[in-house]
Amino acid sequence: MDKGRVLLAVTGFHPQRWHELLSTEREVVTEPDGPADPSIAYAVVWKQRPNLLSRLPNLKVIFSIGAGVDHIFADQTIPDVPIVRVVADNLSRHMTEYIVWRVLDHHRQGLLFRGQQAKKVWREPTQRTAEDVSVGIMGLGNLGRAAASALHALGFRLNGWSRREQKMEGVTTFHGEAGLIPFLNATDILVVLLPLTPATRGIVNHSLLKHLRKRNALGGSVLINAGRGRLQKDADILRALDDGTLKEASLDVFEVEPLPKTSPLWGHPKVFVTPHAAATSDPNHLVPIMLRQMNAFERGEKLENVVDREAGY
Ligand code: NDP
Ligand code: OXD
């Protein structure tokens, strides 16, 4: 098989480094040649323009620049070719760092200490013990498992929720609709690492948050969402914070991104905001994996990390 050309189809950022690295082995274009370009075999995409991929008659594989693929499915016309997503140690490590950082900040009372420092208050609160705090991870996939294992090593109690039954040492697992409420009832800090699919859209809402365990060592429940913004209802999170359903939240993702300047989440005293920056796709680590997969595919080998279209992730 010839070395197929690559279409690099990205919106929202300048993919210069991706272009440079892909070009070390492949001819790369950012626009198809004409209305039905037959020369393109692969598309490397992040939020590609709609109706772009459907115009490529010889497209063989779509590579997502992210672990999530909802940005690809946002275009209803994508052709029926395999979609490969990002699974990489580098990305998992970055996400684990973010989750451990946020869990520890809530556990070690970062909000309280920042407030005390602002007022020059010298007061030592009762120190909590990780063994008394349970972290529940919604989405026990590549990223959820990596975070769970780091938190387990720090002594936290771990729960995990997934679509299908999963097992993991040191983690009490729950799955499916029937497992959701028991999972929430046993959780003090909820970490959301789900993909955005028709089944998960809007799942993090007020009625879900009400099921978290409030009488706990933290003095309330905490939400950390680093999955996708449209998993949550921003207004419900605000309501939950204001009526005591939630004590604090760390949010990396939002229903609308960038988070509008008018959003009350920016200035909310109990909310820690990051700009969808929990785990950024690094071309230096990810392009070699993509090129390796293209070469393997052309030798007739199986692609890895192919998305299940029916499940949507
Ligand atoms: P995986 O596909 O490896 O894992 C997804 C997990 O979610 C699986 O455990 C899966 O269950 C579970 N799940 C999916 N649908 C449902 C459902 N309907 N009910 C219950 N559980 C469900 O994904 P990753 O761990 O690699 O990534 C997770 C998400 O993190 C990405 O989709 C992306 O949206 C987000 N992300 C965010 C980043 C950021 O910077 N903020 C960076 C990277 C990713 P099962 O095990 O049964 O399949
Ligand atoms: C991803 C992301 O899906 O960065 O990888 O959001």
In ligand 1, which atom is closest to the CA atom of 280? 40
Identify the pLDDT of residue 67.
98
User: How many other β-carbons are positioned within 10 Å of the β-carbon of residue 284?
Assistant: 10
pTM: predicted TM-score of the whole model, two decimal places: 0.98
What is the rounded CA–CA span in Å between residue 38 and residue 170?
A: 51
Confidence (pLDDT) at 213: 97
Band (pLDDT 50/70/90 cuts) for residue 180 is very high
Domains of the chain by residue range: 5-86+281-298, 90-273
pLDDT classification of 1: cutoffs 50, 70, 90: low
At 124, the pLDDT band (50, 70, 90 cuts) reads very high
Length of the chain: 313
Q: How far is the CA of 24 from the centre of ligand 1 (A)?
A: 31
155 Ramachandran zone, left/alpha/beta (phi>0; psi -120 to 50) = left
What atom in ligand 2 is closest to the CA of residue 71?
Answer: 3
Tell me whether domains 5-86+281-298 and 90-273 share a fold.
yes
- State in Å: Cα 288 to ligand 1 middle: 23
Q: Which helix (H) or strand (E) holds 157?
A: strand 157-162
Task: Dump pLDDT digits (tens) for 37-85.
Answer: 999 999 999 999 999 999 999 999 999 999 999 999 999 999 999 999 9
Residue with CA at minimum distance from ligand 1 atom 8: 141
What mean pLDDT is predicted for residues 169-188? 98
Confidence of residue 26 (pLDDT cuts 50, 70, 90): very high
Is-catalytic flag, 228? Answer: yes
Q: Please write the tens of the pLDDT for every residue from 245-256.
A: 999 999 999 999
Relative to the CA of 85, which ligand 1 atom is closest? 26
* Average pLDDT value for the chain: 97
Q: Which CATH number is 5-86+281-298's, of 3.90.1640.30, 3.40.50.11900, 3.40.50.720, 2.40.50.100?
A: 3.40.50.720
Element (H, E) at 138: strand 134-138
- Which of 206, 163, 154 has the alpha carbon at shortest distance from 183? 163
- Kindly give the distance from the C-alpha atom of residue 44 to the centroid of ligand 2, in angstroms, as a whole number: 14
pLDDT at 56: 97
Q: Which of 94, 163, 259 to mutate to test the pocket of ligand 1 (most atoms within 8 A of CB)?
A: 163
pLDDT for the residue numbered 193: 99
pLDDT for 134 beyond 80: yes
Strands laid side by side in the 28-29 sheet: 28-29, 5-10, 40-46, 61-64, 83-84
Give the contacts of 186 (CB within 8 A, at least 6 positions apart).
134, 136, 159, 172, 213
Q: What is the average pLDDT across 173-202?
A: 98
Instruction: For residue 306, report the phi and psi dihedrals to the nearest 5 degrees.
Output: -85, 135
| pLDDT tens digits, 218-233 | 999 999 999 999 999 9
Q: Are 54 and 77 in contact (CB under 8 A)?
A: yes
Mean pLDDT across 132-147: 98
Side-chain half-sphere of 237: how many Cα atoms within 13 Å?
A: 30
276 Cα to the center of ligand 2, angstroms: 8
| pLDDT (0 to 100) of residue 305 | 98
pLDDT higher than 90, residue 2: no
d(CA 185, CA 210): 9
CA torsion through residues 163, 153, 184, 257, sign: negative
Q: In this structure, which residue's CA is closest to atom 5 in ligand 2? A: 66
Cα–Cα–Cα angle for 13, 231, 69, nearest 5°?
Answer: 45
Selecting among 55, 152, 201, 276, the annotated active-site residue is 276
E strand or H helix that includes residue 97 = helix 89-107
Ligand nearest to the CA of 99: 1
pLDDT digits (tens, 9 = 90+) for 277-297: 999 999 999 999 999 999 999
**312 backbone dihedrals φ, ψ, rounded to 5°:** 85, 15
According to CATH, the superfamily of the domain at 90-273 is NAD(P)-binding Rossmann-like Domain (3.40.50.720)
For residue 53 the two structure tokens come to: 């991929």
d(CA 254, CA 266): 11
Q: In which element (H, E) is residue 66 found?
A: none
